[in-house]
Amino acid sequence: MSTPHLQGEKGDYAPVVLMPGDPLRAKYIAENFLENVRCVNEIRNMFGYTGTYKGTPVSVQGSGMGQPSIGIYSYELFNFFDVQSIIRIGTAGGIDEKIQLRDLVLAEGACTNSSYVKQYNLPGRYAPIASFRLLRKAAETADALGMPVHVGNVFSSDLFYDDADSLADWQKMGVLAIEMEAASLYMNAARAGKEALCICTVSDCPLRNEYTTAEERQTGFTKMMELALETIV
């Protein structure tokens, strides 16, 4: 069944989906890591592909930028296409002092300033967290591959340009990095009874004015891609 944002039928997506924000990163992963690839979505140029990695079926689907966008795509995948697990593979800004450019971060939890949680009418504050099974498997896989990772909280912000300049406040609370998608992905997974994990590459360290290039963000963060794929096989 097609949805307003995804075309195709049940079965067009594998049970596990890797979800980069950039649809061109999805295309890059499909062309460079997967076998027997077919394009399963082109609506709004938000490309999606299904293939295999070392014999394991896997899909990769762009999510767009921000929590409303990944909220739409992950909701439709979980609830209409029988996807069981989504691993976000995106970029983040490192804010902890020990974080360096190109480091890998596994988001154990996702603080947020988003109002996404209000739809559930919960009688308190919800703490979005990753699937422990996926988190443990990713950490073990990273160790086996010799890939150092940081594990901890990220901050999922609705703001790219923050006029309040609040990153130092989140740094004081031990938050490792800032990104824009993990919290709503984790909430959608929890509500659907599914699994989610966010693996990020540090593309910039805004408190130190350190940045990578747009081209590197699109095609250069291959360790993150490899870690996600090796986690699911």
Q: Is 173 left (phi over 0), alpha (psi -120 to 50) or beta?
A: alpha
Q: Exposed (0-12), middle (13-18) or buried (19+): which is 220, by Cβ within 10 Å?
A: middle
Closest of 70, 105, 78, 90 to residue 185, by C-alpha: 70
Token pair recorded at residue 84: 């069981």
Residue type, position 79, single letter? N
Task: Report how far apart the first and last C-alpha atoms of the chain are (Å, whole number).
Answer: 28
* In contact, 85 and 134? CB cutoff 8 Å: yes
Question: What are the two backbone dihedrals, phi and then psi, of residue 139, each rounded to the nearest 5 degrees?
Answer: -65, -40
In whole angstroms, what is the distance from residue 157 CA to residue 137 CA? 26
Q: Note if 143 is an active site residue.
A: no
Residue type, position 10, single letter? K
Query: Quick one: DSSP state of residue 137?
Result: H
Given 22, 96, 103, 204, which residue is catalytic?
204
Return the active site residues.
Answer: 204
